[in-house]
Chains A and B, each alone.
Chain A
Amino acid sequence: GESVGLHLPTLSVQEGDNSIINCAYSNSASDYFIWYKQESGKGPQFIIDIRSNMDKRQGQRVTVLLNKTVKHLSLQIAATQPGDSAVYFCAENGAGSYQLTFGKGTKLSVIP
């Protein structure tokens, strides 16, 4: 079936370095993508989103890139901080739908 998945289950980065978390999706009808951050013991927290008519969107220290040709999504975190340590999920939904499909998540560990 259609699914959203992540390439790397774990990622360790040095504090101050940039982090890149990748996600592959298989539903070509997906038109909206979201990155969530989930800290231990908490619910998923919205980070940034992007619509399919865009290929790049920037937030504060975060950038999401969308490559529709290869159905790939990435989250870039600049100057990674210890507070960025969490599990990151990409999620997608189709046109006009609120239903999100989540991948399994990537655990980001920041080394001080």
Chain B
Amino acid sequence: EAGVAQSPRYKIIEKRQSVAFWCNPISGHATLYWYQQILGQGPKLLIQFQNNGVVDDSQLPKDRFSAERLKGVDSTLKIQPAKLEDSAVYLCASSPPYGTNSGNTIYFGEGSWLTVV
């Protein structure tokens, strides 16, 4: 089974520029998440989608971050304009429908590493 795919893996941009990350979840996973992981810390949830609807975006800095999942499969996360403190790994994750044999386990991609200079 293919895992969660993310691109690009690495990106370096200057502050005030924009960047977009793409995610393709595991096939059949209706729930998709974007997490931000700052070096030395655990991942922090930014936004959660159920199919193409937003379940929780309470921790998404909406003045500069946006995310969409228009067709309920792939998702993009955009940052515009970027700040130095946005330097982090952006992890996409997905999970199977609640109540399946896999429980509510979340599976992560390899991450997109952003450096803002």
Contact = CB atoms under 8 A, between A and B. Distances in A.
Interface string A92-112: 010011111011110000000
Interface residues of B, number: 25
Contact of B108 (A32, A43, A49, A104): A43
A21 to B, nearest CB: 14
B87 interface: no
Contact of A44 (B43, B44, B104): B43
B86 interface: no
Interface residues of A, number: 23
Nearest to A91: B42
B111 A34 contact: no
Interface in A59-107: 89, 91, 93, 96-100, 102-105
Nearest to A103: B42
Contacts, number: 55
B42 A98 contact: no
Contact of B103 (A32, A45, A103): A32
Contacts of B111: 42-43
B12 to A, nearest CB: 16
A99 to B, nearest CB: 6
Given A99-B48, A104-B41, A44 B105 contact: no
Nearest to B3: A43
B37 to A, nearest CB: 8
A99 B104 CA distance: 9
A32 to B, nearest CB: 6
B75 interface: no
Interface of B: 4, 31, 33, 40-45, 48, 56, 89, 91, 93, 95, 98, 103-111
Interface of A: 32, 34, 36, 41-46, 49, 51, 89, 91, 93, 96-100, 102-105
12 contacts: A34-B105, A34-B106, A42-B111, A43-B89, A43-B91, A43-B108, A49-B103, A98-B98, A98-B106, A100-B45, A102-B43, A104-B41
